[in-house]
Structure 1
Amino acid sequence: MILNWNEPLAGGVQAVYEDADLLVLQKPAGLLCVPGRGPDKQDCLSARAQERWPGALIVHRLDQATSGLVLMARHIDAQRRLSHAFAERQVHKRYQAVVQGLLGPAEQTWQEIDLPIAADWERRPLRVIDPALGKPSLTRWRPRAQDPVAGTTHVELEPVTGRTHQLRVHLAAIGHPILGDALYADAATQAQAPRLLLHASHLAFTHPGTGAWLALEWAAEFE
């Protein structure tokens, strides 16, 4: 087992954890997890990881605009086990975000946003709240700190389900979009930050090789 806290890869990617079965990398905001369409979208987290760890495999993804912890497998058996853990909701994920408006008081108990999400086919890749066609989607949240001057709140988030854009859609739906969100916030909220202020700060799961519980943290640059 090897911990690499101070060994950056190209472009700001940080190796937070590695061993013979898996990797946990810190993805910067603006970097794709996997290649997109077109030659200008080939630089991505998986490509950079594979230069260092040939054969590294994606297990899950973050939005391009989101920063934070991403889990990768070193071989196909580990990928199967970890993918199964995600599918069965056995991986604990926590995010940090700064949202428009005051939510509080700080350290309030966890609350839930239970709103079904569906694809907005006419405006892809956007998602919408759709009671008729949406899939069940559940997010837990609690406020951590308020900034009354800016009129914003730092919130902690736990996605119970894993829908595309879930956290962004849910927070916008309750009237508190994430700062810098180019998809779901109005122009004024977008302009309050140079990037989407959403960060995957915590991953915890059962190690696919040893069976030990592994928990990793990486603070957001905006905390």
Structure 2
Amino acid sequence: MSSSSSCNDHSKAKTKQEQQRILYYKCEIDTTSPNTVIITRIPITTAATAPPPTPSSPAAATNPLPPQEPLPESVLQYQRQLRKVQASNRATNTSLTPSQHLKVLHSDEYLVITNKPSGVLCVPGVHDHPSLLSLVHQKFGFTQKEEEVLPGKRYKKKQKKEKKVSMNNMIVHRLDMDTSGIVVFGLNNLVVKSLHELFRTRKVTKKYEALLCGHLPPHMSKGTIQMPLQRDHRHPPFMRISTPKSETEAEEAVKDLQHAGYKKLIMKQPKDSVTEFKVLSREWLCVDEKDGSISNRVVEEDGEIERTGGGDGREKDGCFPVTRVELVPVTGRTHQLRVHCAAIGHPIVADPAYGIWGEASPNGGFDESDMYIMFPHRANLDLQRAIDAAVRPSNSSTLLTGDNIVDKEHKDATNKEEDCEGKDNNDNDAMCMCLHARELRFDHPVTGEDLLVEAPPSF
């Protein structure tokens, strides 16, 4: 891919501080393909001496948003704790039934493919929470065999359940609890081993669909994000974009932990992570002021794409700009799609970890001032807050008094979060995270059949 034009339109940094800021990533337009970008890491020797990005893209918008003050850390910390409580409640209190939560897309004697609802765990975990795996094992993990028994002098036939495969040996891959979509389970050890090999060698084609906050600019209609990921040392177990600064901080954190007694803890190196994306449509997420119901309106292809700026980020008719994208994870790192979307300034709608007020670091780990330079046309904080307030329960009516935190709407917020358990986004007025594993394609490990499974998202 040949690229030379910058994605943003800054002719020069606004201040000396910005001129001296070292950037480690760049967004460039592919000159060989229209409306295509590639986002890559800058070599550290180049980053230390390179000037701020310069404009050369006529497609870039002319009025980038001004930099915004980062969200107060005290507020972020409170919201992180609230999200942890909500996630724990959903995982613990979920009541799953086969009729409502087990949606089988394909099954044979070797494997089962399901459509997982948002808010449902793939596997039980160490605390043995209700999960999709439990439902699949209950229905497909046993075979029925007949055996004859002799009660007295009469022969009777009795059904006997025989375990086909243990539950732990059915796991092929997983989706996050808040991600919906296609999940595969194996029905014997050899099949599971073969499927593991297909996933490991990247012979499985995976396509996701997501709604992102804000409208991606026209010159970013498709592209490739190449940003390595590392464990977030400030907010484990979440992930973040790796930079030389974050790698140094993580190394120091590991040394401190080892000195404190965690001798076996080692520093994990960042992993290359690549995501391909394509804009499917630019839409408006509209909230009915009377009943709070949510609907989508698609922007006409030939119509002008408006960008919401200041204020609360809300249009007059109660609609918010969102972009529907197809995401292809070339690599399969933990939370890769969610971190990459947040890092380019367009987090996934209703993402409880990497979106606004999330448990992880904002902007995928980038500082707000870095975002202003690298992605000046991102969804600004006001817009992200407005979308979050529209699709999630209200979490702003809190009262902080001394050491006590009183949340007037905590109970309602928790209940509304739990509404995402196994339900479609159009079933209630609180949207679940808008990330869905839409398509999976691979060669059947036994029959060799080209198996293509699709499931449209509910949002």
TM-score, scaled relative to structure 1: 0.89
Matches of 1:103 and 1:24, distance apart in 2: 33
Q: Which amino acid aligns with 1:141?
A: F
1:150 aligns with: 320
Residue deviations 1:124-175 (CA, integer Å, cap 9, x gap): 2210001344210000000111125421100011000000000000000000
Q: Which of 191, 195, 198 is matched with 1:85 structurally?
A: 198
Q: 1:208 aligns to what?
A: 445
From 97, 119, 129, give the equivalent of 2:231: 119
d(CA) in 2 for partners of 1:45, 1:199: 16
The change in CA–CA distance for 1:27 and 1:20 in structure 2 (over 3 A counts) is same
Kindly name which structure, 1 or 2, has the bigger radius of gyration based on alpha carbons. 2
- The aligned residue for residue 125 of structure 2 is 36
8 Å contact kept, 1:139–1:167: yes
Cα distance in 2 for partners of 1:216, 1:161 equals 20
Equivalent residue, structure 2, for 1:62: 175
Tell me what 2:334 maps to.
Answer: 164
Specify the alignment match of 1:46 in structure 2: 133
> Between the two proteins, what is the percent identity of the paired residues?
36
Structure 1 counterpart of 2:249: none
The aligned residue for residue 220 of structure 1 is: 457
- With over 3 angstroms needed to count, the CA separation of the structure-2 counterparts of 1:204 and 1:106, relative to structure 1, is farther
Q: How many residues align?
A: 212
Please give the alpha-carbon distance, in whole angstroms, between the structure 2 residues aligned to 1:190 and 1:160: 29
DSSP-derived class of the 1:51 partner:
helix
Q: Is the 8 A contact 1:106 1:143 kept in 2?
A: no
Amino acid at match of 1:183: A
In 2, are the aligned partners of 1:104 and 1:143 still within 8 Å (CA)? no
1:79 is aligned with what amino acid?
V
Aligned AA for 2:277?
A: W
Give me the whole-angstrom Cα distance separating, in 1, the residues matched to 2:198 and 2:335. 20
- Aligned partners of 1:104 and 1:202: how far apart in 2? 26
1:27 aligns with 2:139: no
Give the letter aligned to residue 130 of structure 2. Answer: D
Could you tell me which runs of 5 or more consecutive residues in structure 1 were left unpaired when the two chains were aligned.
1-7
Q: 1:76, 1:158 → 2: CA distance?
A: 28
Match of 1:5 in 2: none
Contact 1:106 1:144 in 2 (8 A): no
What is the Cα deviation at residue 107 of structure 1?
11
Aligned counterparts of 1:105 and 1:147: Cα–Cα separation in 2: 13
The correspondence of residues 180-195 of structure 1 with structure 2, limited to 5 A, is 180-187=350-357, 188=385, 189-193=387-391, 194-195=431-432
CA RMSD in angstroms comes to: 1.9
Q: More displaced, 92-101 or 140-149? A: 140-149
What is the alpha-carbon distance in structure 1 between the residues aligned to residue 449 and residue 132 of structure 2? 26
Q: In the aligned structure 2, how far is the partner of 1:170 from the partner of 1:192? A: 23
- 1:139 maps to a residue whose letter is T
Please give the alpha-carbon distance, in whole angstroms, between the structure 1 residues aligned to 2:117 and 2:219: 27
Cα distance, 1:58 vs structure 2: 1.1
Any unmatched runs of 5+ in structure 2?
1-96, 142-164, 245-268, 285-318, 358-384, 392-430
